[in-house]
């Protein structure tokens, strides 16, 4: 007996010598099974509770309610909508409003934030301090309070439509929002839009061709200037071709409100102002950090090989600064999109606000909250996919 | 020998007046190029247009503590809206006569915060003080002992609610966040997946949707007859939300740990728990103190969102005050005052976090 055991090798002995709770691999499997079981149990418990509650309140689950008539009006909408439309369409209106405010907000935020970030680095003491003060002030006040503030300014400090401020002809400012004249509908404008797009496409092609030619022959083609000229000239030609229409759709006071023109509602303006001013402060800090991350030597080297200041910025500073800027910038853009859900607090009909109304009317709380989460996850994921692609394009190409 | 050889007779030129003193400073900082000169002048003109009218509105033509009627016939700011309603704005629906309780609780909190600011006090005893402090604050708020009548949580409102949501949000979210971060770094695929799904899902949706979930969806999850108070549900939503953000911050700290630390721990024969508890987490958490303060800061700002699910935090009590017909129309003043309050709190936190970052950055 004794002899036999001594002949068995260590390798054969080990597995049985270590009990399974001391074997890291087996333990890991057990941990995972326990964790999954736990999650499954909790989910099952919540699910059965929910089922019982829904049965008791006789709420039908599922997305059937989407086809029913919504029966509520929405203050402003990108597409045609009336109370007789379905919930699905109401939700679409809300989603489009979210996209609208986020998109305009992001564009304005990048412009304002970059401007303030550069001002923060100005050699002018006054400008730098003012930019710094702006950043501190805006970052340290909750965005919701800022929204309330701007909204209060709109509906308390501006006069009623009858006494509307009229700074320029065709522009009115009152507590119903900013109302301004727009060119009256004319087929020329559609043509101008197409001409604009065509000019951009041609410019893109020229830029590509110019770069290839520069690589081949060394001759520089002024693609940017030609594109700017094209973008201005082509639509202008179309406009002249249609006989230069100048008719305007002027807003006029009728009863208690304005008719005609384009109205930017106070809700939308307050939301946009609040989001842009708040997020721009964060963007400014990101831009500042990005510019400061480019070493002085880089700029000096670029200047010493004879590049113009514009070229130094375009070819040396920006490509390096953007690498630092883009990842945090992405999360700020996502923050802006997510913060646009605060619209509900000041009565702008964004997706969350419309969904909330839907929940209140139909009692479909689970579906409603799930829809909100899904749509924001969709926004988040698509934005981060795009920014990741852009980031990869801008990233350092290392050998 | 002649003396001049040793005594210098060189004449010292004084620097030009444009280089030193006030003029020198102005020249260097405001008028150092034609572009900057124009910029300075334009800026000064803009400030001249904005600052004096604001100053006279805010300080000269304003009233500070008068009844509402006195505000009707002045041009300036009516700051009276705050002092005249201060007890409602600060304490909300907390019963009259009992408001000293949240008052003392808040003073205690401020004292604890000030005590914790000094890094010399960062010892185990600090944790004990906080624990005791939190229990005392909770007892003061809830009552039920020492002859203090019970005040249900649905009456907690105003400033104490704001502080409570932020503070408990942070305190309870931190352990959860650390666990999520460890889970995300784990080698076990199932646990890692669960943690990644949780973190990314929470970070992908706005806080509002979680608050909605807590207010309209959560009651459906509970068995019949069980109800959880609205304030608590909002608190849970804030904790869940904050935990996901803390997890990402802590993960950053864990990733910054050099491999050598893990290997050294392994070679000492420490198991996973010991490695994390004794070697990795103490170092990783030290790195992430400043960004964690940043999260506390945003949690503090985000508590204002509970307005939307009709909890009475300090922003909501201000809004309720403004909806009183007597005080309607003074939103600008009330919101500016509230903004100053938030600014002071947040600025103190963010400047402390920056100072700490500098102090802790010992250079590796």
DSSP notation for B142-180: H--STTPPP--GGG--BHHHHHHHHHHHHHHHHHHHHHH
Backbone angles phi, psi at B63, to 5 degrees: -115, 145
**This prediction's pTM:** 0.83
Which pLDDT score, from 0 to 100, does residue B103 have?
83
List strand residue ranges (DSSP E) for chain A, in order. 171-174, 177-180, 182-183, 248-249, 252-254, 257-259, 262-264
Which pLDDT score, from 0 to 100, does residue A5 have?
47
The C-alpha of B140 sits at a distance from chain A's nearest C-alpha, in angstroms, of 28
**Sign of the alpha-carbon dihedral angle for A202, A203, A207, A210:** positive
Chain A residues 359-378 within an 8 A CB cutoff of chain B: 359, 365-366, 368-369, 372-373, 376-377
- All residues of chain A having their beta carbon less than 8 Å from the beta carbon of residue B190 are 32-33, 35-36
Which pLDDT score, from 0 to 100, does residue A397 have?
61
What is the overall mean pLDDT for chain B? 82
In tens, the pLDDT along A295-349 reads: 888 889 998 998 887 788 888 888 888 888 888 888 888 889 888 888 888 888 8
Partner A contacted by B56 (CB < 8 A): no
**What's the average pLDDT block by block, 10 residues per block, for chain B (364 residues)?**
56 75 78 82 88 81 74 75 78 77 84 81 80 83 74 79 85 90 86 87 87 82 76 89 90 85 88 86 83 86 86 85 80 87 89 82 57
ipTM here: 0.84
Partner B contacted by A171 (CB < 8 A): no
Which pLDDT score, from 0 to 100, does residue A284 have?
92
Closest CA to A248 of A302, A179, A306, A307: A179
CA angle B227, B233, B236 (to 5 degrees): 135
The residue of chain A nearest to residue B30, with distances taken between CA atoms, is: A124
Contact B350 A380 (CB under 8 A): no
First vs last C-alpha separation in chain A: 65
> Who among B194, B206, B308 is closest to A338 (CB)?
B206
In tens, the pLDDT along A136-171 reads: 999 899 999 999 998 888 877 777 777 777 777 777
The domain segmentation of chain A, as residue ranges, is 2-56, 87-143+264-394
In tens, the pLDDT along A336-349 reads: 988 888 888 888 88
- Residue B239 to residues B165, B214, B315, Cα–Cα distance (Å): 9, 12, 20
- Residue B65 to residues B26, B68, B324, Cα–Cα distance (Å): 42, 9, 17
- All residues of chain B having their beta carbon less than 8 Å from the beta carbon of residue A23 are none
Cα B240 from Cα A268, distance rounded (Å):
30
Q: Please report which confidence band the pLDDT of residue A135 belongs to, taking 50, 70 and 90 as the band edges.
A: very high
- All residues of chain B having their beta carbon less than 8 Å from the beta carbon of residue A356 are 212
Cα B205 from Cα A375, distance rounded (Å):
9
Query: Around A37, how many Cα atoms within 13 Å sit in the side-chain half-sphere?
Result: 6
Q: How many helices (H) and strands (E) does chain B have?
A: 17, 0
> Which of B43, B57, B182, B204 to mutate to probe the A interface, most A CBs <10 Å?
B204
In tens, the pLDDT along A71-89 reads: 777 777 777 777 777 888 8
User: Over 80: is that where the pLDDT of A180 sits?
Assistant: no
User: Over 50: is that where the pLDDT of A384 sits?
Assistant: yes
User: Over 80: is that where the pLDDT of A275 sits?
Assistant: yes
The residue of chain B nearest to residue A46, with distances taken between CA atoms, is: B221
Q: Who's near A221: CB < 8 A, 6+ residues apart?
A: A206, A209, A210, A213, A214
Residue ranges of domains in chain B, CATH in brackets: 17-51 (no CATH), 80-94+151-360 (1.10.3720.10)
Residue range A87-143+264-394 forms a domain whose CATH class is mainly alpha
> Which of B22, B216, B328 to mutate to probe the A interface, most A CBs <10 Å?
B216
């Amino acid at each position: 007996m004794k002899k036999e055991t001594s002949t068995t090798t260590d390798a054969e002995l080990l597995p049985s010598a270590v009990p399974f709770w001391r074997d890291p691999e087996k333990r890991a499997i057990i941990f995972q099974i326990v964790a999954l079981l736990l999650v499954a149990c909790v989910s099952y418990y919540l699910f059965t509770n929910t089922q019982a509650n829904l049965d008791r309140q006789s709420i039908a689950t599922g997305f059937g309610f989407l086809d029913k008539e919504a029966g509520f009006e929405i203050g402003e909408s990108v597409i045609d909508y009336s109370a007789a439309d379905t919930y699905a369409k109401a939700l679409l209106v809300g989603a489009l409003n979210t996209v609208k405010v986020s998109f305009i907000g992001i564009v304005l935020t990048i412009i304002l934030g970059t401007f303030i970030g550069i001002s923060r680095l100005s050699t002018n003491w006054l400008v730098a301090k003012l930019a710094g003060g702006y950043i501190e002030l805006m970052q340290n006040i909750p965005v919701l309070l800022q929204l309330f503030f701007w909204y209060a300014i709109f509906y308390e400090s501006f006069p009623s439509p009858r006494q509307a401020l009229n700074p320029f002809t065709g522009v009115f400012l009152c507590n119903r929002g900013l109302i301004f004249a727009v060119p009256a509908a004319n087929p020329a404008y559609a043509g101008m839009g197409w001409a604009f797009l065509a000019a951009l496409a041609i410019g893109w092609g020229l830029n590509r061709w110019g770069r290839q030619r520069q690589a081949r022959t060394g001759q520089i083609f002024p693609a940017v200037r030609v594109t700017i000229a094209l973008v201005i000239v082509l639509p202008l030609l179309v406009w002249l071709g249609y006989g230069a229409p100048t008719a305007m759709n002027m807003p006029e006071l009728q009863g208690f409100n304005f008719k005609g023109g384009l109205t930017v509602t106070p809700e939308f303006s307050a939301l946009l102002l609040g989001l842009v001013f708040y997020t721009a402060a964060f963007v400014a800090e990101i831009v500042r950090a990005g510019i400061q991350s480019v070493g002085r030597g880089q700029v000096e080297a670029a200047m010493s090989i004879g590049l113009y200041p514009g070229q130094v910025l375009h070819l040396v500073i920006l490509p390096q600064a953007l690498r630092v800027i883009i990842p945090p910038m992405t999360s700020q853009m996502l923050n802006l999109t997510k913060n646009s859900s605060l619209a509900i607090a000041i009565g702008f009909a964004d997706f969350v606000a419309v969904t909330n109304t839907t929940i209140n009317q139909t009692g479909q709380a689970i579906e409603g909250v799930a829809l909100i989460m899904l749509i924001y996850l969709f926004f988040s994921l698509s934005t981060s996919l795009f920014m990741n692609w852009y980031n990869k394009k801008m990233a350092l190409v290392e050998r | 020998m002649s003396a001049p050889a040793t005594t210098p007779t060189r004449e010292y030129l004084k620097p030009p007046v444009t280089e030193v003193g006030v003029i020198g400073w102005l020249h260097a900082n405001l008028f150092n190029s034609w572009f900057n000169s124009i910029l300075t002048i334009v800026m000064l003109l803009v400030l001249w247009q904005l600052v004096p009218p604001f100053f006279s509105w805010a300080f000269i033509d304003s009233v500070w503590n008068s009844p509402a009627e006195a505000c009707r016939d002045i041009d300036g700011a009516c700051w009276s809206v705050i002092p005249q309603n201060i007890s409602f704005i600060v304490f909300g629906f907390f019963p009259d006569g009992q408001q000293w309780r949240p008052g003392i609780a808040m003073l205690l909190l401020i004292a604890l915060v000030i005590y914790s600011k000094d890094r010399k006090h960062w010892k185990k005893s600090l944790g004990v003080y906080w624990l005791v402090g939190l229990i005392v604050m909770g007892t003061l708020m809830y009552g039920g002992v020492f002859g203090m009548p019970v005040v249900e949580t649905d009456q907690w409102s105003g400033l104490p609610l704001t502080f409570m949501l932020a503070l408990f949000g942070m305190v309870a979210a931190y352990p959860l966040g650390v666990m999520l971060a460890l889970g995300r770094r784990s080698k076990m695929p199932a646990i890692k997946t669960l943690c990644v799904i949780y973190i990314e899902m929470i970070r992908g949706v706005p806080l509002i949707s979680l608050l909605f979930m807590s207010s309209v969806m959560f009651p459906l999850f509970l068995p019949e007859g069980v109800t959880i108070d609205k304030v608590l549900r909002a608190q849970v939503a804030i904790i869940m939300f904050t935990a996901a953000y803390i997890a990402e911050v802590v993960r950053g700290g864990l990733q910054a740990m050099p491999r050598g630390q893990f290997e050294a721990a392994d070679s000492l024969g420490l198991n996973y728990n010991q490695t994390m508890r004794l070697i990795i987490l103490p170092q990783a958490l030290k790195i992430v103190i400043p960004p964690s303060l940043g999260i506390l800061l945003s949690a503090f700002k985000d508590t204002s969102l509970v307005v939307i699910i009709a909890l009475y935090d300090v922003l909501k009590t201000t809004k309720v005050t403004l909806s009183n017909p007597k005080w309607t129309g003074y939103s600008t003043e009330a919101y500016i005052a509230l903004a100053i309050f938030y600014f002071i709190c947040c600025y103190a936190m963010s400047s402390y976090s920056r100072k700490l970052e500098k102090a802790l950055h010992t250079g590796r």
